[in-house]
Structure 1
Amino acid sequence: MNIYDVSEHAHVSIATVSRVINGNPNVSEKTRKRVLAVMDELGYTPNVFARSLGLNTMKTIGIMCADSSDPWLAEAVYFLEKQLRSSGYDSILCCSGYLPETKKKYLELLRSKRVDAIILAGSHYVEAKEKDNAYLLEAAKDIPIMLVNGCLEGGQIYSTVCDDQAAVYSAAAKLYQSGRSALLYLYSGTSYSNLRKLAGYRQATAAASLPVRDELMVLCSKDPDLAMEQIKELSDSGIKFDSILAAEDILAVGAVKYANQTGISIPEGLSIIGYNNSILSRCTTPEITSVDNKVEALCTTTVNTLMKVLEGGNVPAKTTITPELIKRGTTNF
């Protein structure tokens, strides 16, 4: 049985059935009782598509992330889904990978599901070239697009970001002020967030009146063992460093493994700071000092902003969250 059968048996329009399903007051009590009686007689249970006819909403939000096995993205998806559920919305998750063509494919898939909005978790959805963001700008003409820790200007595009540049600047500055002078910076890509972090490292180094050396800015594999090997190769090549700042905790784990294998004391011989304050930062000995970029606050704020957008409220296009440095055993400043 479906909504059309109810409409036929109750001798009312589909729109009237939908209004009854959704509790719309613009239905007479007599008609409401008749429709409910037919629904009971036919054993009809309303589904989300039937409800959408009356509400003009699927009460469903699409979520896209590049890789759900990534610890930070996994946490983000958890907090987004939790907040959406508490707001009365269901969610559909798509893991798009990092290739532009698959990102476009999954965005269109979610749009075809008639979701009310799409949340893009992670900064990898903002490309460096404007033409590569055209599909997002086009989609935003029809549906709100929410960016978690990515920033893109355009109509119906709303960004909630952590101030990554300021966070890295502050972390690097603390290491320099503690007497470190050769800070190795490890990062894993060229996403919007990674580029902001790299800018913070450059800015802090220049502010400390130290040269910004290319050999101390290393693009690393997102694997602790491979990161460890890259650091070791760098050291074996004669490049000196007395501290390491990593754009992600998984790279900082590689730095701790490097120090442990080579007999360097932490933090006396090598200070290490990670980023994200993920569970990985608490899985090493010593535990890793890490920047908490407030993933829960980012996600909660994103959903709260989205609810206001869907209600027709006036909200800012960009909201910035302030990070916090969590000190543990890999630093002594």
Structure 2
Amino acid sequence: MNITIYDIAQQCNVSIATVSRVLNGSSRVSEKTRAFILQTMKDMGYKPNPFARGLGLDSMKIIGVICTDVADIFYAHAVSLLEDGLRQHHFDVMLSNTGTDTGRNSKYITDLTAKHVDAIITIGTPFSSEADIRQLQKVAETIPVITINSDYHQPNMYSVVCNEKEGMRSAVHALAKKGCQSVLYLYDALTYSGRHKLDGFREGIRELKLDASAKLIQQIPRTLAAAEAIIDRLIAADVHFEAILTSEDVLAVGAQRAALRHGHVLPVIGCNNSILAQCATPTLSSLDNKLANLCAAAVNLIIQLTETDGAAVPVRTEFNAELVERESFQSRP
């Protein structure tokens, strides 16, 4: 059982602030109360960790959350899950929406730290340049930094990821079992997640010796219009494909709509298992990258790092993706 400062405060019948003052050596606590709290900590096996001790009385019970675009359904859902989970532990969320990763986004990190957040959670890959990552690493020396679906492989930073590479590889195998030899792959960006998805797709194609034509891998903007347009162009150019696999659900929705407009009924698989997949017609098969699990794990890390000894906190937590089959997967080429 992880003992927190809340448990100590309750046992001693004092406020959390009083326990924090003891942890930080404040003179605003009587020697009798200090001795009683310290003995209770010893008896209950409480071991303050460096992060929690460093937060001390300056703790605002606020977690900074950074993502690129909260208008995107994936990021919006992630922020909602994090806020719900953190609120249960009496933390508020301060959101920072960076927009496009320009390679000069470190100001978003410094802005949050200047507001004395207790920890930072990043979603996806809002930072890619060496300068930005160095700034994030500097912050990680003083407060916990947790990355969701990204891994900067830096000291004092904790990553929570989904194995989307294996997920995409498995999706290719599933399509091959349906007799699909030519699989079109649409993706939008080569972020941490994007690179792993593309690697998984290529690995599956290579293993099964499927059609490896360069025309079957297309990078496009993450919009319905872009997905429809590329399908229109490929069909007009007589590019043959028997299934469509995409890095995002929104691309799969657009691709499926365009394919059906041309009379092409074929298996389509998206990624994220978002509400878009359930609302599409036909309903869309999608690779579930376990966003709820990722966010719950990130919240748990925050609690362990800020309120317990943090001794058994894993540096990396990984979940497996799962293919959710719906109507679009039953379509035959």
TM-score grouping bracket, smaller chain normalisation: 0.7 to 0.9
Structure 2 matches for 1:192-203, cutoff 5 A? 192-203=192-203
Q: Measure the CA separation in 2 of the matches of 1:121 and 1:203.
A: 26
Q: Measure the CA separation in 1 of the matches of 2:234 and 2:286.
A: 23
Q: Measure the CA separation in 1 of the matches of 2:134 and 2:56.
A: 33
Corresponding residue of 2:298: 302
Q: Measure the CA separation in 1 of the matches of 2:189 and 2:137.
A: 24
C-alpha deviations, 1:220-277, integer Å up to 9, x for none?
Answer: 2211122111111012112110100011000000111112211222xxxx11001001
Corresponding residue of 1:113: 115
How large is the Cα RMSD of the aligned pairs?
2.4
Q: SS of the counterpart of 1:61?
A: strand
Q: What is the aligned-residue identity percentage?
A: 36
TM-score, normalised with respect to structure 2:
0.81
Q: Measure the CA separation in 1 of the matches of 2:175 and 2:270.
A: 13
| Alpha-carbon contact 1:126-1:151 (below 8 Å) kept | no
Q: SS of the counterpart of 1:98?
A: coil
| Alpha-carbon contact 2:164-2:200 (below 8 Å) kept | yes
More moved, 96-105 vs 299-308: 96-105
Aligned partner letter, 2:254 = G
Q: Measure the CA separation in 2 of the matches of 1:54 and 1:328.
A: 50
C-alpha deviations, 1:53-107, integer Å up to 9, x for none?
Answer: 9634221110111101100100000001111111121111111112335621111
| Alpha-carbon contact 2:105-2:132 (below 8 Å) kept | no
CA 1:208–1:85 in structure 2 vs 1: closer, same or farther (change >3 Å)? same
Is 1:312–2:316 an aligned residue pair? Answer: no
Tell me, which stretches of 5 or more residues in structure 1 are unaligned?
1-18, 32-51
Q: Measure the CA separation in 2 of the matches of 1:309 and 1:137.
A: 16
Corresponding residue of 2:57: 55
Is 1:276–2:275 an aligned residue pair? Answer: no
Structure 2 matches for 1:21-60, cutoff 5 A? 22-24=17-19, 27=29, 55-60=57-62
Corresponding residue of 1:125: 126
Aligned partner letter, 2:330 = N
Corresponding residue of 1:324: 322
Corresponding residue of 2:78: 76
Deviation at 1:132, TM superposition (A): 4.9
More moved, 253-262 vs 209-218: 209-218
CA 1:54–1:210 in structure 2 vs 1: closer, same or farther (change >3 Å)? closer
Aligned partner letter, 1:98 = T
Q: Measure the CA separation in 1 of the matches of 2:260 and 2:55.
A: 62
More moved, 157-166 vs 140-149: 140-149
Corresponding residue of 1:38: none
Return the index of the structure with the highest Cα Rg. Answer: 1
Q: Measure the CA separation in 1 of the matches of 2:242 and 2:217.
A: 14
Aligned partner letter, 1:108 = T
Q: Measure the CA separation in 2 of the matches of 1:53 and 1:196.
A: 35
CA 1:290–1:63 in structure 2 vs 1: closer, same or farther (change >3 Å)? same
Deviation at 1:332, TM superposition (A): 2.4
Higher relative contact order (CA 8 A, sep 6+): 2
Corresponding residue of 2:287: 291
Deviation at 1:154, TM superposition (A): 1.5
Q: Measure the CA separation in 2 of the matches of 1:21 and 1:262.
A: 65
C-alpha deviations, 1:179-205, integer Å up to 9, x for none?
Answer: 100000000101000000000000000
Corresponding residue of 1:160: 160
Corresponding residue of 1:239: 239
| Alpha-carbon contact 1:97-1:103 (below 8 Å) kept | no
Q: Measure the CA separation in 1 of the matches of 2:203 and 2:147.
A: 26
Q: SS of the counterpart of 2:212?
A: coil
Q: Measure the CA separation in 1 of the matches of 2:316 and 2:145.
A: 12
Q: Measure the CA separation in 2 of the matches of 1:163 and 1:77.
A: 21
More moved, 183-192 vs 139-148: 139-148
Aligned partner letter, 1:95 = N
C-alpha deviations, 1:121-151, integer Å up to 9, x for none?
Answer: 11x2352x64552222222122211101111
More moved, 107-116 vs 141-150: 141-150
Corresponding residue of 2:90: 88
How many residues are aligned here?
289
Q: SS of the counterpart of 2:300?
A: helix
Tell me, which stretches of 5 or more residues in structure 2 are unaligned?
1-13, 23-28, 34-53
Q: Measure the CA separation in 2 of the matches of 1:313 and 1:304.
A: 11
| Alpha-carbon contact 1:126-1:192 (below 8 Å) kept | no
| Alpha-carbon contact 2:101-2:127 (below 8 Å) kept | no
Deviation at 1:211, TM superposition (A): 4.5
TM-score, normalised with respect to structure 1:
0.81
Q: Measure the CA separation in 1 of the matches of 2:177 and 2:233.
A: 28
Q: Measure the CA separation in 2 of the matches of 1:112 and 1:69.
A: 25
Q: Measure the CA separation in 2 of the matches of 1:130 and 1:234.
A: 37
